[in-house]
Amino acid sequence: MRLVLLGAPGAGKGTQAKKLIEKYSIPQISTGDILRKAVADGTPLGKEAKAVMDKGELVPDKVVLGLVEERLKQDDCKNGYILDGFPRNTAQAEALDAILVSMGAPLSVALSVDVDKDDLMKRLTGRRTCRNCQQMYNIYFSMPKTEGVCDKCGGELYQRDDDKEETIKKRLEVYEAQTAPLIEYYSKKGILKSIQGIGSIDEIFEKVCSVLEGR
Ligand code: AP5
Ligand code: MG
């Protein structure tokens, strides 16, 4: 399965992707996670990306496309993958199509997870992430057993720099202007599926699996 997860910031793309990895044994490719790792490692790419990410804007297409193309050619993507947070605009979607044509393996499905703006704000301001394994928690909806500590690996939980209210507003605007048009893009290609991302994480996962398995 070669899957694109579409959805606004906070829709739960990363949360659902982590569950899909376990169920289908395919990797998650999150451009946001790759960029945050580059920032944490202090690489030249990370230094360039940080300023843009902190403003809630998109990192240049050329940079992101290079990262994705390299990642898609790795061995663990042979049986499929979950693209999370990529593509982010029409130029990235077209470039992805061209890469996949050259690899002879087009996308199977683009799944859009739809969530109201008020819920998105609460999910994002309450999010905490493990520095070590990237597991997500939420101080409103899914607290870790011990405050500030990951249940899975004992790593330290942190709040993302771009999860401040002003930056979240900008990210939501960028989503509406640049990423939401991809719903139409994939609909025209006949591979779009949509679900409402409301309910518990497990309830949504059940809906995701039903749609992906055509149940
Ligand atoms: P990225 O990391 O992709 O962030 P995003 O798209 O803004 O999405 P999020 O990760 O914030 O949300 P999510 O949908 O994954 O939600 P999550 O599962 O965490 O991008 C960050 C930045 O990097 C961009 O702004 C840009 O600068 C740059 N970038 C990345 N990709 C790029 C690209 N392709 N091109 C250019 N620039 C790029 O869930 C959120 C919270 O809600 C969590 O706390 C979770 O526990 C909670 N939650 C999840 N589901 C539920 C539920 N059902 N009920 C209650 N709480 C829930
Ligand atoms: Mg995410």
Domain-located, residue 44: no
Domain-located, residue 62: no
Instruction: Tell me what the pLDDT averaged over the chain comes to.
Output: 96
Distances from the Cα of 78 to the Cα of 74, 102, 153, 159, angstroms: 8, 14, 28, 33
CB 167 within 8 A of CB 10: no
Q: Which of 50, 123, 128, 171 is catalytic?
A: 171
pLDDT in tens, 115-142: 999 999 999 999 999 999 999 999 999 9
The question of whether 127 is a catalytic residue gets the answer yes
The dihedrals phi and psi of 114, each to the nearest 5 degrees, come to -105, 125
pLDDT in tens, 24-74: 999 999 999 999 999 999 999 999 999 999 999 999 999 999 999 999 999
Residue ranges making up the domain that contains 195: 2-26+79-212
> Among 107, 77, 114, 113, which residue's Cα sits nearest to residue 93?
107
pTM equals 0.96
Domain-located, residue 63: no
Domain-located, residue 6: yes
pLDDT value for 33:
94
Distances from the Cα of 205 to the Cα of 2, 141, 213, angstroms: 17, 16, 12
Displacement of CA 31 from its chain's centroid (Å) = 7
Kindly report the CATH number assigned to the domain that includes residue 18: 3.40.50.300
Residue minimizing CA distance to atom 2 of ligand 1: 32
Domain-located, residue 163: yes
Domain-located, residue 93: yes
> Among 48, 9, 50, 47, which residue's Cα sits nearest to residue 30?
9
Number of domains in the chain: 1
Domain-located, residue 71: no
Q: Which residue ranges have their beta carbon within 6 Å of ligand 1?
A: 7, 9-15, 31-32, 35, 52-53, 56-59, 64, 85-86, 88, 92, 123-124, 126-127, 136-138, 141-142, 162, 171, 200-201, 204
Is the four-CA dihedral 145, 125, 199, 157 of positive or negative sign?
negative
pLDDT value for 215:
78
The question of whether 88 is a catalytic residue gets the answer yes
Q: What angle do CA 17, 190, 174 make, to 5 degrees?
A: 55
Q: Which of 88, 123, 128, 207 is catalytic?
A: 88
